[in-house]
Amino acid sequence: MTNCFDRLTGVGNRIALQQCMTGWIEEAKAFAIVFIDIDSFAYFNDRYGHDQGDILLGQLAVLILQQLPAEAQLFRTGGDEFLVLLPNTPLADAMTFGDRIRMAIAQHCCHFPMQRLEFAPDGRSKEIEFLPTASCSVGLYPEHGQDWMSLMQAVDEAMYKHRTQFGRNQVAVVEG
């Protein structure tokens, strides 16, 4: 049996997401998807190292889990990307949820003990303080895609287009 959990964060992985979405689609269950992309994560990894990036992803997964409604499910789809499935959720509620996640992440100050050769003026090692932000996009089944792959593509394209036009740390909606 294939492992369906992300080893780093403990949430469902892309395989679990595909299985869940496919099952809900076969049941004709309406749902919203909220795609979450951590802004400037590559910069963080480059500056502070992948070990610190892993810690950040774990902290953010816990933060997102704390915001989930009872029936919602969280998945890590890769790198710095998460996706939440919200069963029987109208677009306006999914947008509100996406904004709540975005704001919770923006208000979460992450602290990391510094493990690199960076020191405070007094010679002591210092701690990293990082304020992450996230960009989100929202889509609905069946309105924005008829299968899991088309839904994933729709929210990914909506986020890319919105980010290019309006910048980061916002919530985009799939058009159409």
Domains of the chain, residue spans: 29-149
State whether residue 103 is helix, strand or coil: helix
pLDDT in tens, 117-127: 355 556 565 66
Question: Considering the chain, what is the average pLDDT of its residues?
Answer: 89
In the predicted model, is pLDDT for residue 64 greater than 50? Answer: yes
pLDDT digits (tens, 9 = 90+) for 154-172: 999 999 999 999 999 999 9
The CATH number of the structural domain formed by 29-149 is 3.30.70.270
Question: What token pair was written down for 170?
Answer: 């916002």
Portion of the chain with pLDDT greater than 70, in percent: 87
Whether 93 is a known active-site residue: answer: no
pLDDT at position 74 is: 99
For residue 147, give the nearest of 33, 71, 70 by alpha carbon: 33
- Tell whether the model's pLDDT for residue 79 goes beyond 50: yes
pLDDT at 25 (0 to 100): 95
- Set 51, 80, 93, 122: catalytic member: 80
Burial of 35 (0-12, 13-18, 19+ CB in 10 A): buried
